[in-house]
Amino acid sequence: MTEIQTESKRDGATAPVGPTAGADALPHERLHERHGLGLTLFGGGARAAYQVGVLKGLANSHPDLDVPFITGISAGAINAAHLSSQKGTFAERTASLAELWNAIDVDRVFETQGLPLLYRTLCIGMRLAIGWAPTLDPMLGMVDSSPLSRFLEQALGGRELDGIEANLASGSLKAVALVALKYSTSQTISFCMGQEIIDWERPLRRSQRERLTVDHILASAALPLFFPPVQIDGEWYGDGGIRLTAPLAPVIHLGADRLLAISTRYRPTGREADQRRFDGPPRAAQIFGSLMGATFLDVLDQDAYQLDRINSLLEKLPPEKRGALRPLRSLLIRPSADIARLANDFEPRLPGTFRFLTRRWGTRKSRSQELLSTILFQEDYVKLLMEIGERDGVAHADALSALLDETPVTR
């Protein structure tokens, strides 16, 4: 796939064209200063384990792959932060990331004890239904995510991600960004270390130079209502994918001229897409699953599709008429299996109270589990996703080689 980053001129200033990452070009004078492969890891909750498998599969044939620009959005922030903070070759860093996910389980992501889990869920439900007593502190999430905070601190060697600074100093990493939503202003914030984001500022999106910590990972991955928002410097932040319609944009603005993106959305055939996923009226699991799919899974494919269309239009123009346009080449890897349908096989193994609650939402009525696959941090399900991802990564090794061998397009 070939994708393009574009811009238009309006009143002597640059202005975006359309809603895609390709609509935001860097200033002409900065184009040749910034280059390298950019990796975008988007969301999907537990489905982010698939990304780990893909990276491990790619590392089999590209053990010394140079990835100087990395962005993490939603659950992809966990993978992005780990890759950015570890030492060694690409193969060594991906192997270390796989070890992290091999050790993960539901109990290490959120509190699963019966009474506390029931209490928090009921409080959220009552708050949504009838409000909340003004004298009581609000309940911020259905689950307590402090186990994930402790797990990440242990896996990453502390709350401060010192390894990122070391990799920036050595030159093996040029820039990393973790994306979160600032609830008080509804702005998408890219927390950056290293090379600054160029021409990224818009009314509803901002970049912020910050020393990244585990809190920034938790903020980016805080699924709305399910995980509690995270407070950073007095402001509350949530999942970075909530309103980010162009997930490829951050890594482009960090300076990448080639893109590698890993989607966690299976691309069905026409016949598969026409199959009913449940019978009868939709329940909460189906409705919320559709909302989460549209928010966290669909947008990456849509962004890549729009960029591809822009590229097709640009090919019809001679170079001298393209203005300040920036061609980009990319590779988008998707799951070869419907990982939402596979989640059904693992639902019975969930902790008892959590399984009881998800079934009340209607998960047992679904044949494709968009919601459950997002929160199913079950050890055996995670390992299956990594196995599928590794096979897909191996299958795309030649495509990655072709992407890396291409000569960047310049004006």
Range of the domain at 395: 34-113+143-267+283-339+380-403
The span from the first CA to the last CA of the chain, in angstroms, equals 20
Question: Does residue 304 lie within any of the structural domains?
Answer: yes
Question: Does residue 129 lie within any of the structural domains?
Answer: no
Domain count, the chain: 1
Q: Where does the pLDDT of residue 274 fall: very low under 50, low under 70, confident under 90, or very high at 90 and above?
A: low
- List residues with catalytic annotation: 74, 239
Query: In the structure encoding, which two tokens stand for residue 265, read together?
Result: 């959305």
Burial class (CB in 10 A: 0-12, 13-18, 19+), 282: middle
Question: Does residue 79 lie within any of the structural domains?
Answer: yes
Quote the pLDDT of residue 110. Answer: 75
Identify the H or E element spanning 39: strand 37-41
| pLDDT per position as a tens digit, 97-127 | 999 999 998 888 877 665 555 555 666 565 5
Quote the pLDDT of residue 281. Answer: 72
Q: Give the Å distances, CA to CA, from 3 to 73, 304, 329, 330, 388.
A: 20, 7, 5, 6, 26
| pLDDT per position as a tens digit, 237-252 | 999 999 898 999 999 8
DSSP state of 251: H
Whole-number Å distance between alpha carbons of 333 and 225: 29
| pLDDT per position as a tens digit, 16-67 | 323 344 444 444 444 444 579 999 999 888 999 999 999 999 999 999 999 9
Question: Percentage of the chain surpassing pLDDT 70?
Answer: 73
Dihedral, 184, 185, 190, 191 alpha carbons, nearest 10: -40
Quote the pLDDT of residue 323. Answer: 76
Quote the pLDDT of residue 9. Answer: 31
Question: Does residue 219 lie within any of the structural domains?
Answer: yes
pTM, to two decimals: 0.82
CATH code of the domain in which 151 resides: 3.40.1090.10
Quote the pLDDT of residue 410. Answer: 41
Query: In the structure encoding, which two tokens stand for residue 142, read together?
Result: 């259905």
Question: Does residue 346 lie within any of the structural domains?
Answer: no
Question: Does residue 235 lie within any of the structural domains?
Answer: yes
Question: Does residue 27 lie within any of the structural domains?
Answer: no
**How many CB atoms are located within 10 Å of the residue 10 CB?**
10
Q: Residue 238, CB half-sphere, CA atoms under 13 Å: how many?
A: 19
Question: Does residue 137 lie within any of the structural domains?
Answer: no
